[in-house]
Amino acid sequence: MDSSVERVDDLVTRLLPIVREVMDVERWQPGGRDRPYKARYQGHLRVEAAKAFDRLEPQFAKEGAGLFLRQEEGNQVFLATDEFPEPKPDRLWLHALLAGATFLAVLYTGLGYGRSYAHENPTQSLLGQPLALGLIYAGTLLGILATHEFGHYLAGRFHKIAVSLPFFIPFPGGLLGTMGAFIQLKSRPRNRRHLLDMGLAGPYAGLLVALPLLILGLSLSQVKTIEAPPPGSIGYLEGNSFLYLAAKFVVTGELLPAPADFGGQNQLIYWLRNIGAGAGGQFGVPYPLGGRDVQLHPMAIAAWAGLLVTGINLIPAGQLDGGHSIYSWLGSRARRFWPFVVVGFVALIVVWQGWLLFAALVFLMGRTYAQPLDDVTELDRGRKAAAILALIIFFLTFTPAPIIGIPGR
């Protein structure tokens, strides 16, 4: 017999009495070429899954094996695998380079918003000059993004999950100057509870910063009449989410943008269509020309972008924060949501063509979730409430039509 096979069989025998301390073992077997594990034990746990995992993991580690706990057709299964590799250290120079490049790209975009706002609202105040407004925009947007990502990072470190520092993504000349940021998982979360904590710490932290900055930014903005762009050009309005619409109402006392003429529609129906399709002349929603809207201060633009990013991150699919949340809550049943998310994005393409990219990404990668080491331990009541709240926040912050183009007249 091959010596490696003997070692594997010996490992199965050595670990069996340890596994029997927490499980009524019905079947055990060594790994092989078509079985990607060293040993497999199937049965029914006699203690809570989390306690069983905590008890066995150090014993498996002494034998040079990693440990997985899975649920299969009503049975629990322990898998002994190869030792997990040590996470590679962060390349600090790369993180710093991307952060610096993103700051410059966002500042450049902010200067454009600053010049436009300063031209329409001249003032002698230093804080009203284009450079200051550009810095305010950059500081607000990057502050929200950094808070979001370090929420993930700190929660991961707290639960001893190996995670990278944030990677910021510059996008010079883009609408925001950045395509956001992300962190990289270098090790698996211990269980679904840890996965949920890490997944939701980001959007919750980012939203807690974005909301007060949005209120402050809107209070610095001006409500003005919406003029038609010059012939041959296109003007743009930011799209509404339920939360953004509510924030504008809190600050201004108006539901904005308010058209000069509702076209005979009930106002409630108008606003539901406005959020769902944008005020772009589509689906019976008239362009709000001649009406009133907020001319956004650069801080408000950045905070609006923070809400937009929160809504996108909470999409319940794949490796997005919402995907982590829904998988932590429902386990493998979360994959049932995938077709509905794909169909939803395909339907939204008629509202905003940018969703085509998201539909493709969710179609290709939306079925792959971050599976923890212990995939049996379920969420406690408080964490289930946090997962449900994340879905509610998704519906409140998601913007079906992020950008609304208005042709010149």
- Over residues 188-240, the pLDDT tens digits come to 999 999 999 999 999 999 999 999 999 999 999 999 888 877 877 777 888 89
Q: Is 330 found in the same domain as 376?
A: yes
Q: Which of 256, 166, 231, 255 is nearest to 202 (CA)?
A: 166
Confidence of residue 286 (pLDDT cuts 50, 70, 90): low
Residues 76-99: what's their mean pLDDT? 94
Mean pLDDT for the stretch of residues 272-279? 68
Query: And the tokens for 277?
Result: 């399709």
Q: Are the beta carbons of 321 and 313 closer than 8 angstroms?
A: yes
Beta bridge partners of 223: 294
Averaged pLDDT, 385-392:
98
Same domain, 68 and 128: no
pLDDT at 2: 46
pLDDT at position 165 is: 97
Same domain for 160 and 309: yes
**Eight-state DSSP code of residue 258:** B
Confidence (pLDDT) at 193:
98
What pLDDT does residue 99 have? 98
Distance CA 302, CA 391 (A): 23
Note the Cα 62 to chain centre separation in Å: 37
Give the residue from 42, 58, 82 where a domain finishes: 82
pTM for the full predicted model? 0.92
Tell me the mean pLDDT in the region 383-399. Answer: 97
What is the predicted pLDDT for the residue at 284?
Answer: 52
Taking the C-alpha atoms of residue 73 and residue 400, their distance in angstroms, rounded to an integer, is 39
Give the model confidence (pLDDT) of 333-383 as tens digits. 998 888 999 899 888 888 888 889 888 888 888 888 999 999 999 999 999
Say how far apart CA 325 and CA 385 lie, in whole Å: 11
Q: Is 73 helix (H, G, I), strand (E, B) or coil?
A: coil
Q: Please choose, from the candidates 344, 326, 372, 295, the residue with its C-alpha nearest in 3D space to the C-alpha of residue 116.
A: 295
Are 51 and 155 contained in the same domain?
Answer: no
Q: What does pLDDT average to over the chain?
A: 90
Given a cut of 90, is residue 160 above it in pLDDT? Answer: yes
Among residues of the chain, what percentage have pLDDT more than 90? 65
Question: 163 is written with which tokens?
Answer: 């995670």
Domain boundary among 82, 115, 146: 82
* 69 and 101, same domain (yes or no): no
3-class DSSP state of 351 = coil
pLDDT at 127: 82
Same domain, 97 and 172: yes
By residue range, what is the domain housing residue 78? Answer: 3-82
Asked if the model's pLDDT at residue 152 lies above 60, the reply is yes
Same domain, 26 and 74: yes
Q: Is residue 49 part of a domain?
A: yes
Q: Please provide residue 21's backbone torsions phi and psi, each rounded to the nearest 5 degrees.
A: -65, -25
Residue 294 belongs to a domain: no
Same domain? For 61 and 187 the reply is no
Q: Is 207 found in the same domain as 106?
A: yes
| Domain count within the chain | 2
Q: Are residues 97 and 125 in the same domain?
A: yes
Does residue 404 have a pLDDT over 90?
no
285 pLDDT tier (thresholds 50, 70, 90) = low
pLDDT score recorded for residue 148: 98
Residue 362 counted as domain residue: yes
pLDDT greater than 90 at residue 261: no
CATH number of the structural domain spanning residue 17: 3.90.1070
H/E stretch holding 32 = strand 23-32
What's the confidence (pLDDT) of residue 1? 43
Task: Note whether residue 21 is domain-resident.
Answer: yes
Q: Are residues 203 and 337 in the same domain?
A: yes
Q: Which of residues 82, 114, 131 is at a domain's end?
A: 82
The answer to whether residue 377 sits within a structural domain is yes
Helix axes 321-330, 381-397, angle to 10 degrees: 140
What is the per-residue pLDDT for 311? Answer: 96
Is residue 20, in this structure, part of any structural domain at all?
yes
Residue 385 forms part of a structural domain = yes
Q: Decide if 23 is inside a domain.
A: yes
Q: List, for residues 13-70, the tens digit of each pLDDT value.
A: 999 999 999 999 999 999 877 788 999 999 999 999 999 999 999 999 999 999 999 9
Question: Does one domain contain both 137 and 180?
Answer: yes
Question: What is the pLDDT, as a whole number, of residue 3?
Answer: 46
In the chain, pLDDT over 70 holds for what percent of residues? 94
Q: Give the per-residue pLDDT at 287.
A: 65
